[in-house]
Amino acid sequence: MKSKASAPGKVILFGEHFVVYGVKVILCAINKRITVTAEKIEEHKISIKSNIGDLILEPNKPISEINSPLKPFYYLANKMLQTQNQITGIETTVESDIPLGVGLGSSSACCVAGAAAISRLFTETSKEEILELAIAAEKTIFQNTSGADCTVCTYGGIMEYNKKNGFTKIESESNFHLVIANSNIKHSTESVVAGVKQFKEENEVEFSKLCNDESKLVEDVLKLLKDNNTKELGQKIIQNQEYLERIGVSNEKLRDMIMIGQKSSFGAKITGAGGGGCIFALTDETNLEHSINQFKEKNYDCFSVKIDFKGLILFN
């Protein structure tokens, strides 16, 4: 028997990093996905196959001994074998059309689709249970996750989220397009988040003011989203980028891309952890093509995405 599930990637529109310290974040799922197929196998082993390599191990290894980006899948498979008292094994196959490790939610989409496909080999699991499993799996590679990314990959759409109260979907008729430009600099979310923690510890007063400013900005954005005011949203994006510059998650290449985005669209900023990864530019049909052309002229890897409203898809 096989079990298959797919989950979308994500773009953080406003509030990355500050969300780790309790501020509200606004994020959306995007129309790029990870699909995971899980299958019970006779041999007592855990096998994960993906386009970044394979991981084949005996069950019951301490998770701290596994040094692989595929570790969340091992965690999920091992947990299910243990809780279901299984002496069989699990083979998992991962297919992705999300660029990996560049801030577009590839690891959270893996955790959500993996949690769904693997758990449903044994038992009916609800979306809430899948999300809980996915966040636990994500913690094996990034202990301090806010949980925002897995949440939007599970439920899709555009939402506000904070660590204390979880998520609320935003009903917006927004007709914007996001142009994503990829710096192709891989980043580790964990180490960029650790850098921000250090900034906070060394600059407590300034960081606390930035958290207040970000909170206020997010409240303004929630109103602008209701009014579908793309131009003003662009201004808020530019303002949010200034806060990200302050906490040290930007670099020269990202700044160059943001400059191109800000000149050719309503506004552009880093999305996700920063330090590398992607930026996005907010456009609509009046400037979408122009913005893409400007990035392409400078040889930047870029593409446009739309909001995904489906979230997690279960195939059986």
CB contact at 8 A, 312 and 154: yes
In the region spanning residues 74 to 133, those forming contacts with ligand MEV, defined by CB under 6 A, are 103
Of all residues in the shown chain, the one whose CB is closest to ligand MEV is 146
Q: Is 16 in the site for ligand MEV (CB under 6 A)?
A: yes
CA 179, CA 181: separation in Å to the nearest integer?
A: 7
One residue of 36, 38, 181, 193 binding ligand MEV per CB under 6 A: 193
Residues that are catalytic = 149
Q: Does 145 bind ligand MEV (CB under 6 A)?
A: yes
Both structure tokens of 96: 């992705």
The reply on whether position 240 binds ligand MEV by CB under 6 A is no
Report the residue number, 103 or 234, with the smaller CB distance to ligand MEV. 103
> 291: part of which helix (H) or strand (E)?
helix 288-297
The residue (of 35 and 146) whose beta carbon lies closer to ligand MEV is 146
Binding mask 267-286 for ligand MEV (x = CB under 6 A): -----xx-------------
Which residue, 197, 252, 279, 192, is CA-closest to 13?
A: 279
Report the run of H or E that residue 91 belongs to, with start and end.
strand 89-96
Considering only the stretches 11-19, 57-65, 251-259, 308-316, report the one whose residues sit in contact with ligand MEV under the rule CB under 6 A: 11-19
How far apart, in whole angstroms, are the C-alpha atoms of residue 109 and residue 120? 16
Asked if 183 touches ligand MEV (CB under 6 A), the answer is: no
Q: Among the candidate windows 33-41, 54-62, 141-149, 223-231, which touches ligand MEV by CB under 6 A?
A: 141-149
Quick check: 17 binds ligand MEV (CB under 6 A)? Answer: yes
Nearest to ligand MEV of 10, 177 (CB atom): 10
Structure tokens at 241: 């980028």
Q: Mask of contacts with ligand MEV, 155-174, x by CB under 6 A?
A: --------------------
Residue 148 or 281: which CB sits closer to ligand MEV?
148
Out of 50, 146, 264, 283, name the contact with ligand MEV by CB under 6 A: 146
CB-CB contact of 312 with 156 (8 Å): yes
Alpha-carbon gap, residue 79 to 50, rounded angstroms: 20
Kindly report each contact of residues 285-293 with a partner whose C-beta sits within 8 Å and lies 24 or more positions away, as own/partner: 285/175, 285/177, 288/177, 288/179, 290/264, 291/179, 291/261, 291/264, 291/265, 292/179, 293/264
H or E segment to which residue 246 belongs: helix 230-246
Listed ranges 10-18, 80-88, 178-186, 208-216: which one lies at the site for ligand MEV (CB under 6 A): 10-18
Residues 148, 178, 281, 292: which binds ligand MEV (CB under 6 A)?
Answer: 148
User: For residues 312 and 170, what is the distance between their CA atoms, to the nearest angstrom?
Assistant: 18
Phi and psi at 46, nearest 5°, equal -115, 120
Q: Using CB under 6 A as the criterion, which residues of the chain lie in contact with ligand MEV when the complex forms?
A: 12, 16-17, 19-20, 103, 145-146, 148-149, 189, 193, 272-273
